[in-house]
Amino acid sequence: MHNNSFWQKQARRWPVILLLPLLFLLIFFFYPLGNIFRLSLTAEALGELVIRPSFRSVIWFTVWQAALSTGLTLLLGLPAAYLFARYDFRGKTVLRALTTIPFVMPTVVVAAAFRALLGANGPLNQLLMAGFSLETPPIQLDQTLTIIVLAHVFYNVTVVVRLVGGFWGNLNPRLVEAAQTLGASPRRAFMEITLPLLRPSLISASLLIYLFTFTSFGVVLILGGPSFSTIETEIYRQYITFLRPDVAAALSLLQIVFTFGLMSVYARWQQQTAVSLDFRPQQSTLRKAATVGEKVALSSMVVGLLLFLLTPLLALVWQSLLDRDGQFTLAYYQALPTLRRDSVLFVPPLVALRNSLGYALLTVAVAGVLGLLTATLLIRPLQLGSGQASRWRKWLDPLFMLPLGASAVTLGFGYVVTFRWLRTSPLLVLIAHVLVAFPFVVRTLIPVLQGIKPSLREAAAVLGASPARVWREVDLPIVGRALLVASVFAFTVSMGEFGATSFIVRPNSGYLTIPIAIERFLGQPGALNLGQALAMSTILMLVTAVGFIAIERFRVADIGEF
């Protein structure tokens, strides 16, 4: 009887718990998207997308560059996935962690890293010029498709390693061994046994990578320059450069339809391909390299993976410490607290770093509260077990995840056309950061909250604890580490957010963030501008890397959906 009374009190509190996150989504997500929809529904804007060849070229380029990036990522990622799935070797844990670091890097850092590595004065060109007595840099990839695709592969190879490698590692190797016993060659066993079993994870990874590269903004904007434009960068240029909000809205609508459609295909595919397989613990499927050939191949893959993942980031740090003559210097870091007369910024670069830290800390607080309320709401129906509550969960869960499918560029554009009265306020930047970080917080907390036994709460209620005290003394101590991981997620996402902020922050604003400052320095000529961009990128990279290490350190037994 007491137990029922406790859960009835909890059920009555649902509308109160639900109200704040739903209001936040309604005002700061659905309302801006509705404005984009309204602006896009003009015959002139929609007609231009169909009639003008330049827009058709942008859409086609967005589609095929994403396909090319996805294919090359799979090509590089599958050997790495096999490496982690089937072999046990020294340093494997560290290498696995290193493969994830590029994925959590902000886009401006990745762009700056590839500029540092492959630029005219980069270490690769300098080595080739010195080794072959060349007068001009042999590698000239700036503002080419090659450097864009390389950055995309660098970014997303961890998706293949994590999704496909994790799935592959749990497959029973006896299936392949049985096929080989019956006379199948290794190639035939892979094509007819392993590949069909891997197909669900391969398609899931491909859909995610395609979505990430289709909505790529910072990489294309910085590394592609004016020569290449995707739907994302064209939205930015149509609004900022050409002052055509109607055309930008039409492109945003196209982007929204495509991304939500792709997410629906991804979710449906996961549901339809969920079949029972003969899984084994990963430790039982691992083996050490036995033959010389295996050891050579294993060593080659490890070295190649390390070079691909670490060389751009190390080049970034190295180039930030060298002047134009190749001499060691700290001048670029020492210049960060000062505002030069000819600077492209209106505040010292260090102020941009301070602003980013302030936004990130506030994002942690606001997204943490909203995410915790939402996660608490979403797990209650499962624990109460009523049919009505389960139906609530069925539509509430995807509703709160919708911001994950909307690109930050579309979000930023929606804000500037909806909340014009907030354009000069830093509050709009904070709201954008919170909305981008919010789904990560929710998905990090839900698995841990679901793991709390309802009997613990019921026992506390039987002893007279109020629902608030039950949450404070039962739920909170258990979910504490997951909340810390969610907070670090929100912090790092906010520190690196570029797409939405690039719309909201004006050029003469004192509230610009460090990613915006980096992009503006990279867009200007001169060694000092480039040096300061590399110095700020190095600082942002270190902050993000430390955040990622903290996430891995405090994650609750690898529980979490990211």
pLDDT at 187: 79
Q: Which two tokens stand for residue 126?
A: 């300098």
pTM of the model: 0.85
pLDDT given for residue 164 in this prediction: 86
322 strand-pairing partners = 328
DSSP state of 148: H
- At 122 the pLDDT is 85
HSE-CB at 475 with a 13 A cutoff on CA atoms is 24
Q: What is the pLDDT along the chain (562 residues), one digit of tens a residue?
A: 444 555 455 555 555 666 788 889 999 999 998 999 888 878 787 788 888 888 889 999 999 999 999 999 999 999 998 888 888 888 887 888 788 888 878 889 999 999 899 888 888 888 888 888 888 888 888 889 999 999 999 989 988 988 888 778 777 677 777 777 777 777 787 787 777 878 888 888 898 899 889 988 989 999 988 888 999 999 999 988 888 888 889 898 888 888 888 777 776 666 555 544 555 555 556 778 778 888 888 889 889 988 998 999 999 999 999 888 878 899 999 988 988 777 777 788 899 999 999 999 999 999 998 988 888 777 764 444 445 555 666 667 777 777 877 788 989 999 998 998 887 788 999 999 999 999 888 888 887 777 666 666 667 767 766 666 776 777 677 777 778 888 888 898 899 999 899 989 876 778 889 999 998 888 888 888 889 999 999 999 998 888 877 776 666 554 444 5
Question: What is the DSSP track for 348-406?
Answer: -HHHHHHHHHHHHHHHHHHHHHHHHHHHHHHHHHHHH--HHHHHHHHHHHHHHHHHHHS
Number of structural domains the chain divides into: 1
The identity of residue 31, as a single letter, is Y
Which domain does 269 fall in, by range? 57-319
117 occurs within a structural domain: yes
CA distances (Å), origin 211, targets 248, 383, 464, 474? 20, 34, 50, 39
Q: Give the Cα separation of 470 and 150 in Å (integer).
A: 51
Q: Judge whether 445 lies within some domain.
A: no
Say if 36 falls within a structural domain: no
- Establish if 12 belongs to a structural domain: no
279: domain CATH number? 1.10.3720.10
How many other CB atoms are there within 10 angstroms of residue 240's CB atom?
15
**Within a domain: 152:** yes
- pLDDT at residue 392 in the model: 62
Query: Is residue 530 domain-resident?
Result: no
Let me know if residue 412 belongs to a domain. no
Looking at residue 13, its pLDDT comes to 56
Ramachandran quadrant class, 451 (left: phi over 0; alpha: psi -120 to 50; beta: rest): alpha
- Is residue 149 assigned to a domain? yes
* Confidence at residue 445, expressed as pLDDT on a 0 to 100 scale: 82
Q: What is the predicted pLDDT for the residue at 75? A: 93
Q: What are phi and psi of 279, to 5 degrees?
A: -85, 150
Residues 6 or more apart whose Cβ sits within 8 Å of residue 294 = none
Q: Is 327 left (phi over 0), alpha (psi -120 to 50) or beta?
A: beta
